[in-house]
A and B are shown apart, each in its own frame.
Chain A
Amino acid sequence: MNERNTALPQISAGLISKALAIYAKDLRLELRSRYAVNTILMFSITTLAVVSYSLGQGGLSPRLLSALYWIIMFFSSMAGLAQVFIREEEAGTSLVLRLTAEPNAVYLGKLFFNLTLLLVMTVIITPLFFIFMDVPVDNVLLFVLMALFAVIALCSATTLVAAIIARAAVKGTLFAVVAFPIIIVPMMVLVTGGAKVLDGGSVGDVSAELQLLVAYSGVMITASILLFRFVWQE
């Protein structure tokens, strides 16, 4: 039993229902404490207000607007996404979860939770960004589509990192430092793609960026499922 299980993990209906149980538990805990969502919203709205008052409304190039949007998204997500594992470590509940739950159910449950958290953040931040920065609204749906793909890419990359840093002493700082080299690729893609959309580009113009985000998310989720048990166990 103590030999390392090197077989490829199976995604079964049972695994998904266990993952959903972990997701529901985290959602319930978050709704009662609102810790992660408050952290993310406080950070993102403050940053958005500072950027808006500093640079003024209108007249900014699409590339600069896109860079500002994704920088706000990046640092806001860094402020909250690690909480999903840090909370287990700080409450001392990670041991009981390790002993009772399958590692892949834990990973998927935490991934689903982070996806929900970042989706909520995107739904609140994106319209505020458009209003505060007076962004032209020609391609809002395409921008939202890109934001949706970004949520999946960011969560797929950061959930495993959150599990790695949860046991470290300086968790908050370490999370951004460790996640940055992994996230820099989708961030560059998002800045380029976002600029194209804000400049009036169509789906065809950003199809390469969208494909890259899908591929990146697929690779990161697969790698995380394969590696998570080694991070999660001792």
Chain B
Amino acid sequence: MCRLSVTNLAKRFGPRKVFSDISFQLETGDSLAVVGPNGSGKTTLLMTILNGYHPTRGEVTFYRGGRRLAESQVRTSSSLVAPYLNFYDDLTAEENLKFFASVTGRNVTGKEINSLLDRVGLEGRGMDLIRAYSSGMKQRLKYAVALLGRPEFLFLDEPTSSLDEHGKRIVFDMIEEYRKNGILVIATNEREEYSLASNLCRLDQ
């Protein structure tokens, strides 16, 4: 059983307040949708939770089996899928997957890589440089990378951005399957996406 605890979280960039006093607790099987107008701080909130930004105030704590996770453990047990994440264009999809597996201390076999690529609809394209991928294919690859280590905490920012109908279906099925066994946080304004979450956090501008 895992838990994500966010307490009185606040973030400012200089004099500009992005958000303040955000608190919530999520356990395995829980999901949260973060909604709000453009510029309300949805992405900043996700990045602050993932230690991409240091919070101005408040605390974020990840737990597994009642024990607080260290920074390095959080890195290997959480994943983010977002439009602003870029992978290495001059590496193939397989090389990208192997690299992110190695850098997080995981061993991954060729069979597992093929299975992940099949799952996101990129079968047969693993040896292509991702420079040649469309934005939708790159988005699918982000899901393959995110699911590499079966993360216990999954963060999705605009989860179906750039995806066609088939890609969206794959992602919705994946979310449906994942949310039973992990903690899911989705930042979105799409009704179809936030309706998948069991809790809602609304940010104001």
Contact = CB atoms under 8 A, between A and B. Distances in A.
A110 to B, nearest CB: 13
Contacts of B87: 93, 96
A54 to B, nearest CB: 39
B59 A2 contact: yes
B104 interface: yes
B75 A102 contact: yes
Instruction: Provide the main secondary structure of the chain A interface.
Output: helix
A3 B57 CA distance: 10
B41 interface: no
Contact of A1 (B69, B88, B95): B69
A95 B75 contact: no
Interface stretch (A25-33, A123-131, A169-177, A213-221): A25-33
Contacts of A99: 50-52, 75, 80, 85
Given A1-B69, A28-B91, A91-B89, A233 B54 contact: yes
B62 interface: yes
Contacts of B53: 234
A101 interface: yes
Contacts of A100: 75, 100, 103-104
A101 B55 CA distance: 20
A231 to B, nearest CB: 13
Contacts of A102: 72, 75
A95 B104 contact: no
A105 B103 contact: yes
B71 A1 contact: yes
A-B CB proximity, top 10 nearest: A21-B102, A92-B86, A101-B103, A32-B90, A25-B99, A21-B103, A96-B85, A234-B53, A2-B60, A93-B86
Contacts of B99: 21, 25
Residues of B in contact with A, size category:
20 to 34
Contacts of A98: 52
26 contacts: A1-B51, A1-B68, A1-B70, A2-B51, A2-B55, A5-B71, A14-B105, A17-B102, A21-B102, A21-B103, A22-B103, A33-B90, A91-B86, A93-B86, A93-B87, A95-B85, A96-B86, A96-B87, A99-B52, A99-B85, A101-B103, A101-B104, A102-B72, A105-B103, A234-B53, A234-B54
Given A1-B69, A2-B54, A28 B86 contact: no
Given A33-B90, A101-B103, A234-B52, 7 more contacts: A1-B74, A2-B60, A25-B88, A91-B86, A92-B86, A95-B86, A100-B103
B103 A28 contact: no
B60 A18 contact: no
Given A1-B71, A95-B84, A233-B51, A29 B103 contact: no
B75 A18 contact: no
A91 to B, nearest CB: 6
B90 A29 contact: yes
Interface in B40-85: 48, 50-55, 59-62, 68-72, 74-75, 80, 84-85
Contacts of A96: 85-87, 100
B103 A18 contact: yes
Contact of B91 (A1, A5, A18, A29): A29
Nearest to B129: A32
B154 to A, nearest CB: 13
